[in-house]
């Protein structure tokens, strides 16, 4: 641990209690104070890990006051660990305002890497976009949600949403309505828990998958959507190319026609067609 008093930002498990890092355990066992989103939730966790720290409440309704308490502890030379109920504090969780106040007060913040539902879900999604946009929770009201999704419609990066079980059906319906049936939706449900499920399908099939088994609608969800295909870009060109090749056209003819239809460079399509035929 560091010499001077610092605020540690400590991720905690999403479900499986084994998902705590050695460093997080070290910090939680040594700090005199833990600032927690819900002290009733964190108390048994600290007990389980053998940590004797005292708890401070730091939730979304008292973050400013909690920040002052934390600053007072740090000023007295006592380090504090900030935790949320699960995963990484300040990621769709309280913590950001407290961290900002503590930094403004001149104290060091030390973030510990660790569990985060978005990153765990992304790692198992199979989505290959080089970039992603973490959105978190969509608005709960239908109109605001549709407006938010409209703004994301042409976004080329993979999109990551959080959702609670009671809204999963309406949110998936809204995603399909906004983005159309073809883009891929990956469900990452109950990560690190007994009923962990990772399932990817076209958005047009996603509601049917949820309805096929009521258990699939239960638990915590990360929803990932593949990015928008570039207009006239490789996505559209490749789609057309595949159709033409499947229809029996030669590599040369398929590349030529796919270029005429999609506008994707002819050389790119020709090479792609050779690779597809070869495969
Ligand atoms: N700070 C947390 C993190 O680092 O991921 C997120 C907290 S946010 C209040 C809770 C949301 O995270 C849930 O509604 C769900 O979307 C997602 N989440 C949390 N645990 C999850 C899990 N085990 N499986 C899937 N999603 C989870």
Q: Is the Cβ–Cβ distance between 228 and 190 less than 8 Å?
A: no
* Architecture (CATH level 2) of domain 6-115: 3-Layer(aba) Sandwich (3.40)
Give yes or no for residue 169 having a pLDDT over 90: yes
Question: Between 183 and 240, whose confidence is greater?
Answer: 183
Tokens for 125, please give them.
């999604």
pLDDT at 8: 98
The CA dihedral of 110, 115, 120, 121, to the nearest 10 degrees, is -110
Q: Is the Cβ–Cβ distance between 101 and 74 less than 8 Å?
A: no
pTM of the model: 0.85
Is the beta carbon of 220 within 6 A of some atom in ligand 1? yes
pLDDT at 262: 78
Report CA torsion sign: 47, 49, 52, 53: negative
Q: Where are the domains of the chain?
A: 6-115, 118-225, 235-278
CATH class of 118-225: alpha beta
- At 1-12, the pLDDT tens digits run 546 899 999 999
Question: Between 150 and 262, whose confidence is greater?
Answer: 150
Is the beta carbon of 96 within 6 A of some atom in ligand 1? no
- At 72-119, the pLDDT tens digits run 999 999 999 999 999 999 999 999 999 999 999 999 999 999 999 999
From the CA of 119, give the closest atom in ligand 1: 5
Q: Whose CA is closest to atom 20 on ligand 1?
A: 14
From the CA of 137, give the closest atom in ligand 1: 16
The CA dihedral of 142, 147, 153, 157, to the nearest 10 degrees, is -90
Mean pLDDT, all residues of the chain: 94
222 C-alpha to center of ligand 1: Å? 7
Q: How many residues does the chain have?
A: 279
- At 85-98, the pLDDT tens digits run 999 999 999 999 99
Q: Is the Cβ–Cβ distance between 187 and 199 less than 8 Å?
A: yes
Give yes or no for residue 234 having a pLDDT over 90: no
pLDDT band at 233 (very low <50, low <70, confident <90, very high): low
- Hey, how many other C-beta atoms are within 10 angstroms of the C-beta on 269? 24
- At 144-158, the pLDDT tens digits run 999 999 999 999 999
Name the strands in the sheet holding 184-189, side by side, starting at the edge strand that comes first in the sequence: 132-137, 158-163, 221-225, 184-189, 197-202
In this prediction, residues 225-236 reach a mean pLDDT of 79
7 C-alpha to center of ligand 1: Å? 23
40 HSE (CA, 13 A, CB side): 0
228 C-alpha to center of ligand 1: Å? 25
């Amino acid at each position: 641990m560091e010499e001077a008093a610092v605020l540690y930002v400590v991720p905690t498990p999403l479900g499986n209690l084994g998902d705590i890092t050695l460093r997080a355990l070290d910090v939680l066992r040594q700090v005199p104070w833990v600032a927690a989103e819900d002290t009733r939730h964190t108390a048994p966790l600290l007990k389980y890990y053998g940590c004797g720290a005292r708890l401070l409440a730091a939730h979304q309704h008292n973050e400013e006051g909690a920040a002052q308490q934390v600053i007072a502890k740090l000023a007295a030379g006592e380090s504090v660990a900030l935790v949320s109920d699960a995963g990484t504090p300040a990621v769709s969780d309280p913590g950001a305002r407290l961290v900002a106040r503590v930094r403004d007060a001149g104290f060091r913040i030390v973030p510990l890497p660790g569990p985060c539902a978005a990153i765990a879900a992304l790692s198992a999604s199979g989505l290959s976009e080089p970039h992603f946009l973490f959105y978190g929770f969509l608005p709960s009201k239908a109109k605001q949600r549709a407006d938010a999704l409209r703004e994301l419609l042409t976004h080329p990066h993979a999109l990551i949403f959080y959702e609670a079980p009671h809204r999963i059906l309406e949110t998936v319906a809204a995603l399909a309505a906004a983005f159309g049936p073809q883009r891929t939706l990956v469900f990452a449900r109950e990560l690190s828990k007994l009923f962990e499920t990772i399932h990817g399908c076209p958005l047009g099939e996603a509601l049917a998958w949820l309805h096929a088994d009521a258990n699939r609608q239960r638990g915590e969800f990360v929803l990932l959507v593949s990015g928008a295909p570039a207009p006239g870009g490789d996505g559209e060109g490749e789609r057309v190319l595949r159709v033409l090749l499947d229809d029996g056209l030669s590599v040369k003819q398929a590349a030529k026609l796919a270029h005429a239809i999609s506008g994707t460079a002819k050389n790119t399509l020709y090479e792609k067609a050779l690779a597809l035929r070869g495969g």
